[in-house]
Chain A
Amino acid sequence: DTEVTQTPKHLVMGMTNKKSLKCEQHMGHRAMYWYKQKAKKPPELMFVYSYEKLSINESVPSRFSPECPNSSLLNLHLHALQPEDSALYLCASSQEVWRAQETQYFGPGTRLLVL
């Protein structure tokens, strides 16, 4: 399996809901990432996990809570989101974090709408 998969494809949630996004890869990659992409904008990094530990948090609000239960799985828990959090959430993985010219492999994204 050489792909990053993300579920669900689409998600609609209210501002009081709690939901989770899921990302999975079976390429043996040890680094996983969450990005947020607003319409007509480039992806913006949110979190980086290296060997299942959080290594970068780009000052993301606490209503977004990442979790890496094992080396293949990355979750993003959502709680009390705002309408401006509506976006495409992309997951990516790479073999390592620190290696030069490391390629990141992206999932198809989860399109989130917060009402």
Chain B
Amino acid sequence: AQRVTQPEKLLSVFKGAPVELKCNYSYSGSPELFWYVQYSRQRLQLLLRHISRESIKGFTADLNKGETSFHLKKPFAQEEDSAMYYCALKIGMIKAAGNKLTFGGGTRVLVKP
């Protein structure tokens, strides 16, 4: 069965420092990876999709199929980046799996002034 692992429960960094949130997945086929974010008292929302190769709010994430990883990075963290971040995996292009997202355990990021 597919699995998503986020090894860090909490990441605490100073404003302006780089931040990297690790995400590893286990799935032998063609995965679809996402990063979702939940700011304090707000709803869960999409941050990034691997297929888009985009940078959102300064964050980027690269899918490394060899290492089965999808780490999230930002070179200069801001206080408003403090939130809970979830890596999520959807098994790609298998109709039976539908749009089933499997979430990692989450990493809480705290950016200190």
List CB contacts (< 8 Å) of A38-86 with chain B.
41-45, 48, 50, 55-56
The verdict on A98 contacting B105 (CB below 8 Å), with A42-B86, A103-B46, A106-B45 known, is no
The distance in angstroms between the C-alpha atoms of A19 and B57, with both chains bound, is 40
| A109/B100 in contact, CB under 8 A | no
Q: A74 to nearest B CB, angstroms?
A: 14
Residues of B within 8 A of A (CB-CB), count: 24
| A100/B32 in contact, CB under 8 A | yes
The distance in angstroms between the C-alpha atoms of A105 and B44, with both chains bound, is 8
The verdict on A97 contacting B32 (CB below 8 Å), with A43-B103, A90-B44, A106-B45 known, is no
| A97/B93 in contact, CB under 8 A | no
Which residues from A are CB-within-8-Å of B103?
Answer: 42-44
List CB contacts (< 8 Å) of B35-51 with chain A.
43-46, 49-51
Q: Which of B49, B52, B98, B106 has the most CB of A within 10 A?
A: B98
The distance in angstroms between the C-alpha atoms of A56 and B94, with both chains bound, is 13
| B44/A50 in contact, CB under 8 A | no
The distance in angstroms between the C-alpha atoms of A29 and B14, with both chains bound, is 40
Specify the chain A residue showing the minimal Cβ separation from B33: A101
Whether B13 sits at the interface, judged by CB under 8 Å, is no
Which residues from A are CB-within-8-Å of B104?
Answer: 42
Whether A104 sits at the interface, judged by CB under 8 Å, is yes
Report B's interface with A, CB cutoff 8 A: 32, 34, 43-46, 49-52, 86, 90, 92-93, 95, 98-106
Report A's interface with B, CB cutoff 8 A: 4, 31, 33, 41-45, 48, 50, 55-56, 90, 94, 96-109
